[in-house]
């Protein structure tokens, strides 16, 4: 039986290694801009997070993305990830 090789990456929140497709890639561009990278092809320093509410919330509360990417991470990134997995944020709506 042939096994397909899939890229495996590690979630910065739970530390589990997962199929890359099951993770969000968040990238810091050379200009210092942080964005989600749905294609996995953007240049820059990347961090991976499970497509899971618990991991996203953990990263948000503990500021893991900012630590990992060594740059301030806008709250919008987390809101965007939560909305992509179909979760509402607990944050106050403006
Ligand atoms: Zn995780």
CA-based nearest residue to 13, from 43, 36, 47:
47
CA–CA separation, 8 vs 30, rounded Å?
24
Average of per-residue pLDDT across 3-13? 88
pLDDT of residue 37: 95
92 pLDDT above the threshold of 60? no
Taking the centre of ligand 1 as the mean of its atom positions, its distance from the CA of residue 64, in whole angstroms, is 11
Taking the centre of ligand 1 as the mean of its atom positions, its distance from the CA of residue 43, in whole angstroms, is 22
pLDDT of residue 32: 92
DSSP structural state of residue 29: -
CB atoms within 10 A of CB 5: 6
Taking the centre of ligand 1 as the mean of its atom positions, its distance from the CA of residue 60, in whole angstroms, is 12
CATH for 8-84, options being 3.40.250.10, 3.40.50.1580, 3.40.50.620, 3.30.1230.10:
3.30.1230.10
Taking the centre of ligand 1 as the mean of its atom positions, its distance from the CA of residue 46, in whole angstroms, is 15
Q: Which pTM was predicted?
A: 0.85
Domain ranges of the chain: 8-84
What residues have their beta carbon closer than 5 A to ion ligand 1? 11, 13-14, 50, 55
pLDDT digits (tens, 9 = 90+) for 10-42: 999 999 999 999 999 999 999 999 999 998 889
């Amino acid at each position: 039986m042939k096994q397909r090789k899939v890229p495996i990456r590690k979630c910065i929140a739970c530390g589990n290694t997962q199929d890359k497709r099951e993770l969000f890639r968040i990238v810091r561009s050379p200009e210092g801009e942080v964005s989600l990278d749905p294609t996995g092809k953007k240049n820059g320093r990347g961090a991976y997070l499970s497509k899971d509410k618990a991991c996203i919330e953990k990263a948000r509360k503990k500021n893991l993305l900012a630590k990992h990417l060594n740059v301030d991470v806008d709250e919008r990134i987390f809101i965007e990830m939560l909305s992509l997995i179909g979760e509402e944020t607990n944050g106050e709506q403006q």
